[in-house]
Structure formats: C-alpha cells, structure tokens
C-alpha cells in the first residue's frame, strides 16, 4: 500500500518541510494542512507548504489516509482530539515528535482504535515556524520509527517507504530505547548549550560585548543550539524526563572525573579522553552526518 492523501497538523519547520518534500518527491500525493495559529495558516498558503491549508483540523483530515502530527510534544494530545471527529477509521496516525514514549501514549489516549505508528525524523534546525521549512530537510538524515507491538505491517512498510521517498534513512527502534539514545545525542547537548550560554551571559566580570566578540573560540556553536525553540525544548525535557535525568547523572560523573584530572594535572587522562572524542567526530563525518570542512564549512573563516 501507499498513501494518496496526507494531512499535516502543525505547519512549522517539520510540518512545512514534510509538505514541501511530498510535493517535490511524491507529486501524485495530495496534501492538506492545518495549524492552530491563523497567521501561520496565511503564511503556509503564501509559501504553498501544502496543496490546501484548511481552517479546521477536521477539514484537514477528513479524506486523509495518513495524518502526521507536527506540533510541540505537549500539544500532541489536544491536536489529535481536535482532529478525531473527522479522521477516517483506517487512516494511519503518525507524528514527528522528538520523544516517543510519552507522545505515543498521548496519541493512543486521544485516538483509541486507530493504528498509530510514531516516528521521529532526526533532522532539524534552530529555526521554527512556517518560514523555516524546506523540502530537502530529511535528505540523508535518519528517521526513527517506533512501532508499538503488535503493529500493522502493511501500514508500517508504507510509512517506511514514505520517509525513504522523502530522502530519509529509516531505522526501526523500540520507543524506550529511542528516548534513551536521543537523550544523550540530542537532549543533553541542548541542555548543556542552554546552560553554558546562560552561564556566560550571567558572568559579572566578563562583559556581554566580550562574550559576543570572542565567541568564535567555541562558544558560538553552543549559541546556535541554544537559539532553538523554547516551547519545543521545554516540552522535550518534561516529556523525556527520566531518560534525560539518567544521562545527566552519567554526564555529571564524567565531568567530575575530568574536573579532577585538571585539578591533579593528570595529563594522560585528559589526552586519552580528547583522543577518543576526536574519533567520534571522524565517524560522524565518515557517515555523512556533518561537514568536514574547517569551521563546519562556513564561508567566512573568521574563527
């Protein structure tokens, strides 16, 4: 099976990118969309993010065979309840939320009896809203699909094919494992970036202009992550609380070990640790998940 009518609820970075990608790579598929924000709906029409931007969630889903919820994690349940009265019983329900266990539970509670197969495209930028989306967002990025047990295998393979056509590499994973992996690869780095940028701006003996002026020393790359959408990240930390706290505990222990190595002058521990982390960076580049050019390929090499 394949999908012919895709409804997208939430027309920001993720929803807009899916809408544009479907039009680019699946030209026979019709897309409808809805966003709670009327200004976003106007902008979505202007940019042509989907074929038809509807004024209600029920209008957007009434003829769909796949609905993808692209709203912040805390809004998934409410968005699903709003669409429920018109959602065809055989439509596949999916989403793009950054944490999977709590969102799967919200969708299942809001839409009893529906086939729900959650997904998470590990693709994003620090920008949000209807102007942020672009068709190639998912190309050569991973999309993790977390089907519940048991699942509808026909619908699962159609969802895998859908994401592959949009350019993603698909991985099937248990939702609990997804939340743990993403806690360390995405959620913790964001928490560290939010912390370090906050710490620098709170320092009394370093001026804000100095922080900005000398940011190329490494701080600048944290500021890009720390510019990410506050609503979404507040939701992610609360929705994936347990896994984030587990990883934070582990991180704190490792940080304390490095702190000790610095204090006692343990050069071998520091050198070995930094050598190991450098190898991880090399693997990420070899897998095509980042740019190996100096300074991440920025055109102006001012750093």
Chain contacts with ligand NAP (rule: CB under 6 A) = 9-15, 34-37, 40, 70-73, 75, 78-79, 96-98, 120-121, 124, 128-129, 132, 229, 232, 236
Q: Which is nearer to ligand NAP, 88 or 129 (CB)?
A: 129
- Residue 291: other Cβ atoms inside 10 A: 11
CA–CA separation, 140 vs 217, rounded Å?
Answer: 29
Distance CA 283, CA 293 (A): 14
Residue nearer to ligand NAP on the CB measure, 197 or 200: 197
Who contacts 200 (Cβ-Cβ below 8 Å, separation ≥6)?
A: 206, 211, 219
Using the minimum distance from each CB to ligand NAP, give the nearer residue, 19 or 147. 19
Smallest gap from Cβ 47 to ligand NAP, in A, equals: 13
In the complex, least distance from residue 43 CB atom to ligand NAP, rounded to whole angstroms: 9
User: By C-beta, is 40 or 115 nearer to ligand NAP?
Assistant: 40
- Which distant-in-sequence residues (6+ apart) come within 8 Å of 54 by Cβ? 32, 33, 34, 60
Cα–Cα distance for residue pair 197/46, rounded to 1 Å: 35
Cα dihedral 224, 181, 143, 145, rounded to 10, equals -140
Least distance from ligand NAP to the Cβ atom of residue 121, Å: 6
In the complex, the smallest distance separating the C-beta of residue 20 from ligand NAP, rounded to whole angstroms, is: 13
Q: Where are the beta strands (DSSP E) in the chain?
A: 5-9, 30-34, 52-53, 66-69, 92-95, 115-116, 119-121, 142-145, 169-172
Task: Determine contact, residues 141/169, Cβ cutoff 8 Å.
Answer: yes
Q: How far is the CB of 248 from ligand NAP (least distance, A)?
A: 19
Q: Nearer to ligand NAP by C-beta: 160 or 168?
A: 168
Give the span between the Cα atoms of 263 and 259, in whole angstroms.
6
* Cβ closest to ligand NAP, residue 224 vs residue 301: 224
Closest by alpha carbon to 139, among 49, 21, 51, 225? 21
Which residue has tokens 């709170």? Answer: 202
CB of 14 to ligand NAP, least distance (A): 3
Q: Is the dihedral of CA 216, 219, 221, 224 positive or negative?
A: negative
Q: What's the min distance (Å) between Cβ of 302 and ligand NAP? A: 26
Return the number of the residue (10 or 147) whose C-beta is nearest ligand NAP: 10
147 φ, ψ to 5°?
Answer: -70, 145
In angstroms, what is the minimal distance from the CB of 125 to ligand NAP? Answer: 6
Give the residue with the Cβ less far from ligand NAP, 10 or 19.
10
């Amino acid at each position: 099976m394949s999908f012919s009518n895709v409804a997208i609820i939430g027309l920001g970075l993720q929803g807009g990118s899916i809408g544009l990608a479907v039009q680019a790579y699946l030209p026979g598929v019709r897309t409808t969309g809805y966003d709670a924000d009327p200004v976003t709906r106007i902008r979505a029409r202007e940019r042509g993010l989907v074929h038809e931007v509807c004024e209600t969630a029920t209008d957007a889903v009434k003829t769909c065979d796949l609905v993808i919820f692209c709203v912040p994690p805390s809004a998934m349940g409410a968005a699903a309840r709003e669409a429920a009265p018109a959602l065809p019983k055989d439509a596949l329900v999916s989403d793009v939320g950054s944490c999977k266990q709590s969102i799967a539970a919200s969708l299942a509670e809001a839409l009893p009896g529906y086939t729900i197969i959650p997904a998470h495209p590990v693709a994003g930028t620090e920008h949000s809203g209807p102007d942020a989306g672009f068709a190639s967002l998912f190309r050569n990025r991973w999309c993790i699909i977390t089907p519940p047990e048991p699942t509808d295998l026909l619908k699962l393979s159609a969802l895998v094919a859908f994401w592959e056509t949009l350019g993603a590499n698909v991985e099937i994973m248990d939702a609990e494992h997804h939340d743990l992996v993403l806690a360390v690869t995405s959620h913790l780095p964001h928490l560290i970036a939010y912390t370090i940028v906050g710490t620098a701006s709170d320092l009394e003996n370093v001026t804000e202009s100095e922080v900005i002026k000398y940011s190329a020393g490494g701080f600048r790359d944290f500021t890009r992550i720390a510019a990410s959408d506050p609503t979404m990240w507040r939701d992610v930390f609360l929705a994936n609380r347990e896994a984030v706290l587990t990883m934070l505990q582990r991180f704190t222990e490792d940080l304390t070990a490095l702190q000790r190595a610095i204090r006692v002058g343990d050069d071998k521990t520091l050198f070995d640790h930094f050598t190991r982390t450098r190898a991880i960076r090399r693997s990420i580049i070899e897998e095509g998940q980042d740019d190996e050019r100096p300074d991440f390929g920025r055109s102006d090499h001012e750093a």
